[in-house]
Amino acid sequence: MNKDPQKELRDFQVLGRAIPKKDARIKASGRAEYADDISMPGMLHGKLLHSPHAHARIVSIDTSRAAALPGVRAVVTGSDFPNIKFGNLPQTRDYLPLPMDTVRYIGEEVAAVAAVDEDTAEEAIDLLRVEYEPLPAVFDPEEAMQPGAPQLHANAPGNISAHSAFHFGDIDAAFAKSDYVREDVYETQAVKQGMLEPHACIGLWDNAGKVTLWSCKMSPYVTWRQLAMGLGLRPGDVRVVQTFVGGGFSGGKQEAMPMDFCAVLLSKKTGRPVKFVHTMDEVLTIGHMRHPMKIWLRTGTARDGKLLAQHCRLIANGGAYSSIGGFSMYLAGAMLNLPYRVPNIKYEAHRVYTNNGFCGALRGHTIPQFCFARDSQLELIAAELNLDPLDIRHRNALQPGDVTANGFRIGTFAFDECIERVAKLSGWRDKRGKLPKYRGIGFGCGSHLSGARLMGHSASAAEIKVQEDGTIQLTTGSTDVGQGADTVLSMIAAEVLGIEVDDVGFTRVDSQTTPVDPGTFGSRVTFFTGHAVKRAAEDARRQLAEIAAQKMGADPQDLVFRGREIFNPKDERQRIKLKDVVRWGAFQLGKIVSGRGSYAAADEKIDFRTGEGNLSPAYNPSACAVEVEVDPETGRVTVVGFWGADDSGTPLNPLGVKGQVLGATVMSIGHALYENLIRVDGQVMNPSFRDYKMPLATDLPKLADFQHSNVITWEPEGPFGAKEAGQGAGTGVLAALANAVYDATGVRLKRLPMTPENILFGIKRVREQKETRRP
Amino acid sequence: MTYLKRLPKFEYVSPQSLPEVCGLIAGTSNDEVMLLAGGTDAILQMRRRERVPRRVIGLKGVADLGLVREQADGSLAIGAMTTLQTLLSAPVVIRRYDLLRETAAQIGGYELRNVATVGGNIAGALPCADLPPALMTLGARVRLSSRRGDRWVPLEEFFPEFGRTVAENDELVAEINLPRPAPNSAGTYLKFHDRHSMDMTVVGVSAFVVRDDESRTFRDVRLAYASGAPTVFRAKRAEAVLRGQALTEEGLEAAAETACAESNPRTSWRANGAYRLELIRALTKRAIRRAWEKASSQTETKP
Amino acid sequence: MNDLMPVSLQVNGIRYDVAIQPWRTLLEVLRETLTMTGTKRSCGEGQCGACTVLLDGKAVSSCMYLAVEAQGKEILTIEGPVGGDPALEQIQRSFAAKGAIQCGFCTPGMVMITKDLLSHTPEPDEDEIRDALVGHVCRCTGYVQIVEAIQDAANGMQAAARGMQDAASAMQDAAGATQDAAREMARKGGA
């Protein structure tokens, strides 16, 4: 089904238009209600006590003084919970609502209070008396793997939290055959989500023993299950209501957090709703961040630069608990398969427990770190083999129809076009090697998938209620977290039914009424939920067509839905307003029109132990070029130009796509140059927006020099040809910046972030080396 | 591990005149009483419980502290409660003290500059504060007021050690006075940090030069540093290297080396001392050069 | 200490007489006492801009400002005045139209700083726009569409101003023509 996307875009009624986000106006007026904006009668305020120790046994907790403070209504500690561990994967259940006997990182939540106001709650926290017995702690993952290191979890000898390994082809033979082999080590740092809205929730335990949690969750159903498990309840007795989400990028908004459990249990004890809101320094001190990694990458190529073998060993500093870490380790290695053809692959990854805040998913998950290593090294290989950096990428580019070593089946994949589009936009060939000293341009590529098959865990469903005024109510279990799901899913439904986007009401998730869904992550929503919505709309359309056909004496197969009407193009007399069909069907025939659809892509299975299997129905290539100016006397980098191109299939809402790809890009710029959660002996030194530095408007190129282009393809697996947009675009940026800094200064940095200090001392070393080389 | 809390309980008073303020702080200590100027530091200190005053004295209502006034003798009087925004947009500052305008414009963003004050930037005694080095190189003097009367202190003598000023417990910074700049003079402030805005200063260099137009030499050079030592300081030995000399590469190198020798930058998780020295070296030269070029290009300053 | 101080706050054109503790920030009073939750609570340090309101037309971080010190000032928040504010509405329209809003948490602060900027620099260049935004963090958009929205708002406000000018000129012309006609009639009448 090779459609021409340009033609399809022209023919679409609604899709392909730059439609403003449906909730933009309410957000612009300040009337969108986020969790912290919600107030309920009798509501109490909660605060958390955090551990000052990196590793300690909890000997005792004296809550009496806190409980006695006027205005304090209840206190909870770990022993108030049923001691049921939960986690993201069955084999990684190592987390409790609050610790029973051991704290494992500085900042871990230990106890909580509920009081009549926040001031009193804060005062009460200071009155809690915890007796700790400090234990030896370990912060470096390689040390933690050594025999004799402090063990964080009894069931994880050697502090191995997760392990992933695979081997495809014959790596030893491939290296033996290679004309060129090199090995490099790359290191990446701890990076935080950095969203503006701190985690916030309200918990209610009502008289009937039912629990409700209002919270800004990206995955309400993951939260729902974890909440039920940790509380020892049936999921059916737990309700999670999604509020507007003020940014997420995964992390705590993807899962159940101690604050959620404490809110609910304190509500049980007090009979009142209890609200918790993190301060931003709490957000930056607790777990949930990107895995810092040490990546050994050994690559063998033919003389012409063709990749023959890649062997990657990876150690991830997982922190004190697992989160989604088991999957994280698989995913990094899976990226050995994208976006280049690598016939022989070997991968070994260890996620190691240390007494630091724990790590999990964060926009791109483990893909940006890996692509940083791989595309930095590719540049070095090209230089050594005297190859053009773009040529070596073209030479190895995956093509549509390829099957990768581990079984990814590549559909659309306009990688070559992405590379050329970037070369053209950036003026690469005019600039490379011709820029003034200390000005450089670098190229970087990456890739992403459109949602991961996680067996049935990837299923999404949609329901469409068709109303008598011709509007519809669209319900899914996926969340809009700012990325634009509300709008694009509404556009899909509107396209199928021939109505306007404003005719679609989009429902926020409420586990009581919306379909079960994994939530928003892994770039799955437009693709998986979009399919479900399309199917639900088609189901509704079938029902409406039958009613219309009956009313007009037409053949339902002949009917077209357009402009809020249903008509037969072959007979002008057969034309009726959609709403009239609904009314006639409802009031004359007693037919309620309701569409349902689901999509899971569960037909194929991944064997996560061997790494084999087609992880996603569709894959994106990403390419970008970055131009930098480096101040040679201070080492400071200024990004003066950025050009990116992605094959995201057919862009269903170009305004939304633009926001996603640019946002991902800027996050990666921060990751490369400025961001670093600095931990010294487990203590976060910079838990503030002042010192955890994210890019500001003055850190970026001007509009004219900051461009992204969609390479448009029609992905047959995707809904209306679409693929992901929002994570792939950030994956090539890290290497592009490293390569640009090298081009500008001759300094090759293999550790992130690339600070001015590292660059300056690198420049000095380069100068000294040049001088010593002179005869 | 300090988490930011809501503000602690305190009593609040808002005096309307300077004598009233002096009366309120007489006989008090810094533990009991806090002067609240713009609040950009004070609010955070209270949030962190670094300071828990019994009484907060809000200065925003003291009108006589908020003025920028040219004096009869040609000097400039800047009230301590002048906000950074008022300072950088004052016509006399734009006309005659571009160094000051340039410095203030690099501090924070709109929100911060609309409330942060000149007095607060000085009285806080933070080694990373940006106005003190610029003011020092302009020859600033500080007027300290108390119920006992007023006294003047040259700004370069104002910071005896890390985190402290020479102000007594019963004194407050009331005014900064700047002499009228000599003809053929100009200054520049280079504020270095990783991002392009908002960051704490890693190293700041203020260079103010007076050019002898005929001999093309430095009639005067003043250099002052933020984050180069436990206090903001003037690098007088470095200045002496260039005074009376022409602008040469060797001269700049020597001045920069001397400035490094006079510095004592600390190593912290924010930045290494060795790196700060590199910055001091490079930015000293750059700042002097830029100040010289500015002085050369401008015509006689108009009254 | 439970000292409540009587404070009169002028917010969005409405006067609120409240009794508050002096250690309450303006942000807390707006959100908790006056239940105006449009202004957001985020970094708590004056770095992110989510809590920005206008005091006498100037942007301040309300999380760093004591409520008692806001007495006597005109406070403008994202909710805007009851009668509407054409500038605010234009900015909100432009932000929505240009894709400058994703999660929306930074949006109230961004809209307020834009109003401050455009009130004293009605035709800002790109550098002036970016400089105005340094006290504002956006993690979602990468700022591009925000800058475009501010440019769009500036253009919209300029066009509206020109439109009003044109309308005013047209009215003047019409008034002039009426006067001429009246004089002519008087002349004829007097002949």
Average pLDDT (A157-184) is 97
CATH 1.10.150.120 holds for C85-191: yes
Q: Is C61 on the interface with B (CB under 8 A)?
A: yes
Chain C nearest C-alpha distance from B63 (Å): 14
Q: Is A285 on the interface with B (CB under 8 A)?
A: yes
Subunit partners of chain B (3 or more CB pairs within 8 A): A, C
Q: Is A758 on the interface with B (CB under 8 A)?
A: no
Q: Is the pLDDT of residue A29 over 70?
A: yes
Q: Is B271 on the interface with A (CB under 8 A)?
A: yes
Mutant choice from C89, C102, C126 vs A, greatest count of A C-beta within 10 A: C102
pLDDT tens digit sequence for B142-169? 999 999 999 999 999 999 999 999 999 9
Average pLDDT (B129-153) is 98
Nearest to B129 by CA among B48, B50, B39, B204: B204
Q: Locate the chain C residue with the closest alpha carbon to A199.
A: C42
For residue A560, the Cα-to-chain-centroid distance in whole angstroms is 38
* Local confidence band at C190 (pLDDT 50, 70, 90 cut-offs): low
Contact C45 B44 (CB under 8 A): yes
Contact B283 A678 (CB under 8 A): no
Distances (CA, A) of A661 to A193, A286, A360, A488, A759: 16, 28, 22, 15, 28
SS3 content of chain A, % helix, strand, coil (to 5): 35, 25, 40
Subunit partners of chain C (3 or more CB pairs within 8 A): A, B
Mutant choice from C69, C73, C74, C113 vs B, greatest count of B C-beta within 10 A: C69
Q: Can you give the pLDDT at residue A326? A: 87
Q: Is the pLDDT of residue A143 over 90?
A: yes
Report the distance separating Cα C166 and Cα C148, nearest Å: 26
Average pLDDT (A643-654) is 98
Contact C23 B10 (CB under 8 A): yes
Q: Can you give the pLDDT at residue B303? A: 45
Report the distance separating Cα B28 and Cα B18, nearest Å: 16
Q: Is the pLDDT of residue C191 over 60?
A: no
Contact A481 C95 (CB under 8 A): no
Percent of chain C with pLDDT over 70: 97
pLDDT tens digit sequence for B263-297? 999 999 989 999 999 999 999 999 999 999 999 98
Contacts of C159 (CB under 8 A, 6+ apart): none
Contact C66 B8 (CB under 8 A): no
Which superfamily, per CATH, for C1-83? Answer: Beta-grasp domain (3.10.20.30)
Q: Can you give the pLDDT at residue C181? A: 83
Q: Is A726 on the interface with C (CB under 8 A)?
A: no
Q: Residue A68: exposed, middle, or buried by beta-carbon count in 10 A (0-12, 13-18, 19+)?
A: exposed
Report the distance separating Cα A97 and Cα A83, nearest Å: 8
Chain A nearest C-alpha distance from B300 (Å): 33
SS3 content of chain C, % helix, strand, coil (to 5): 50, 15, 35
Query: In the predicted model, what is the mean pLDDT of chain B?
Result: 95
Size of interface A-B (CB pairs under 8 A): 65
Here the ipTM equals 0.97
Q: Is B1 on the interface with A (CB under 8 A)?
A: yes
pLDDT tens digit sequence for A3-21? 999 999 999 999 999 999 9
> What SS3 string covers A728-749?
HHHCCHHHHHHHHHHHHHCCCC
Report the distance separating Cα B31 and Cα B42, nearest Å: 13
Q: Locate the chain B residue with the closest alpha carbon to A680.
A: B269
The C-alpha angle with vertex A388 and arms to A383 and A391, in degrees rounded to 5, equals 130
Domains A5-32+459-599 and A35-135+198-245+251-285 share a fold: no
Query: In the predicted model, what is the mean pLDDT of chain A?
Result: 97
Residue A737, sorted as left (phi over 0), alpha (psi -120 to 50) or beta, turns out to be: alpha
* Local confidence band at A775 (pLDDT 50, 70, 90 cut-offs): low
* Local confidence band at C171 (pLDDT 50, 70, 90 cut-offs): confident
Residues of A in contact with B197 (CB under 8 A): 696, 698-699
CATH architecture under which domain A5-32+459-599 falls: 2-Layer Sandwich (3.30)
CATH no. of A35-135+198-245+251-285: 3.90.1170.50
pLDDT tens digit sequence for B225-271? 999 999 999 999 999 999 999 999 999 999 999 999 999 999 999 89
Alpha helices in C66-143 (DSSP H): 86-97, 107-120, 126-132
pLDDT tens digit sequence for A584-621? 999 999 999 999 999 999 888 899 889 999 999 999 99
Domains of chain C, residue spans: 1-83, 85-191
Chain C nearest C-alpha distance from A570 (Å): 38
Q: Can you give the pLDDT at residue B302? A: 45
* Local confidence band at A1 (pLDDT 50, 70, 90 cut-offs): low
* Local confidence band at A773 (pLDDT 50, 70, 90 cut-offs): confident
Q: Can you give the pLDDT at residue C3? A: 84
Contact C66 B108 (CB under 8 A): no
Residues of B in contact with C58 (CB under 8 A): 85, 110, 114
pLDDT tens digit sequence for A368-392? 999 999 999 999 999 999 999 999 9
Of B1, B200, B271, the CB nearest to A50: B1
Chain C nearest C-alpha distance from A18 (Å): 9
Report the distance separating Cα A412 and Cα A621, nearest Å: 9
> What SS3 string covers B65-111?
HCCEEECCCCCEEEECCCEHHHHHHCHHHHHHCHHHHHHHHCCCCHH
CATH of A289-453+607-771 among 1.10.10.10, 3.20.20.140, 3.30.365.10, 3.30.1600.10: 3.30.365.10
Q: Is the pLDDT of residue C1 over 60?
A: no
Q: Is the pLDDT of residue B300 over 50?
A: no
Report the distance separating Cα C58 and Cα C76, nearest Å: 9
Predicted TM-score (pTM) of the model is 0.96
Read off the amino acid at residue B297.
S
Contacts of B87 (CB under 8 A, 6+ apart): B68, B78, B93, B100, B101, B104, B118
Domains of chain A, residue spans: 5-32+459-599, 35-135+198-245+251-285, 289-453+607-771
Q: Is A150 on the interface with C (CB under 8 A)?
A: no
Alpha helices in A674-750 (DSSP H): 733-745
Beta strands in C32-96 (DSSP E): 52-55, 58-61, 74-76
Report the distance separating Cα C48 and Cα A688, nearest Å: 10
Of C25, C61, C113, the CB nearest to B7: C25
Question: What is residue B246's DSSP assignment?
Answer: B
Contacts of A117 (CB under 8 A, 6+ apart): A45, A71
* Local confidence band at C48 (pLDDT 50, 70, 90 cut-offs): very high
Contact A196 C102 (CB under 8 A): no
